[in-house]
Amino acid sequence: MAVRSAQCSNSGVTGTGTSGGASARPDEGTPVGRRIVLGMLGLGAAGVAVGAAVQERVDRALSPINRFLPVGGGFRYYSVVDRVEPRDAGDYTLTVSGRVRDRRTFTLADLRALPQTRIIRDFQCVTGWRVPKVPWAGVALPDLLDAVGASPAARAVRFRSFDGAYTESLTMAQARRRDVLIATDMLDGPVSHDHGGPVRLFVAPMYGYKSLKWLDGIEVGDKVVPGYWEERGYDIDAWVGRSNGRDDEPT
């Protein structure tokens, strides 16, 4: 090591003799390495500046296949726990309790027997990715609340996931919107386990984390309780484009 540093500090600077191109004087030649690094930094900064627009175009260009590409649009899988035990469509139940006239437990067949609502909306994640025009189907939450006779005086609705950790809340006004679904289908098929099936919440006008996965409990009450993500700093009223410091186009 000592030898090499001596060679670099002395002969590297002074020796400009005739020894031909083969000698390794480290300070000779074009600093291409540095230029590449600086060029990449420039490209990176430019990418940060225009990336949002480019990604949108990439998503659109790839839209038939982007669900299968890691880069590009498509859903990304988020689970907050080690492992979620899959629940079979056959023995799935959803319990609705709290300030209701009839506390009820719904099977998947019960849910399908209620009036069905189908909507096509974008799914926007708070981390930036967006899946355009996702078809969703299931029971509109106001229809379910009517089916159990939710108290008109109640002010909030709470959702629980059978993953054991994920919870969410909506105000009663939000829960009464017709674009809030107890979704049994998405992407023209049953909600898969990875997407939070057999039954998940879909809150169309809000960021994805409000659309609780693996739904198995709904409680009508008076208090909006911060959910899993909200305890980690995300907004409780998660309107797309009007919360979490983001200005995405509303879904």
Per the structure block, which two tokens stand in for 122? 């974008």
CB 130 to other proteins: min, Å: 9
Q: Which stretch binds other proteins (CB under 8 A): 46-54, 89-97, 151-159, 201-209?
A: 46-54
Q: How far apart are CA 127 and CA 77, in angstroms?
A: 12
Instruction: Find out whether 243 and 235 touch, Cβ atoms under 8 Å.
Output: yes
User: Which residue, among 152, 140, 126, 78, has the nearest Cα to 236 in the 3D structure?
Assistant: 126
The DSSP secondary-structure symbol of 249 reads P
Is residue 61 at the binding interface for other proteins, with CB under 8 A as the rule? no
Tell which one of 8, 114, 119, 225 touches other proteins (CB under 8 A).
8
Q: How far apart are CA 226 and CA 243, in angstroms?
A: 15
Q: Give the Cβ contact number of residue 98 at 10 Å.
A: 18
CB 145 to other proteins: min, Å: 31
* Cα dihedral value 152, 197, 93, 164, nearest 10: -80
Is residue 131 at the binding interface for other proteins, with CB under 8 A as the rule? no
Tell which one of 34, 152, 188, 223 touches other proteins (CB under 8 A).
34
CB 3 to other proteins: min, Å: 4
Tell which one of 61, 65, 76, 178 touches other proteins (CB under 8 A).
76
Binding interface with other proteins (CB under 8 A) = 1-5, 7-8, 12, 20-24, 26-34, 36-41, 43-44, 47-52, 54-55, 70-71, 74-84, 127-129, 194, 245-248
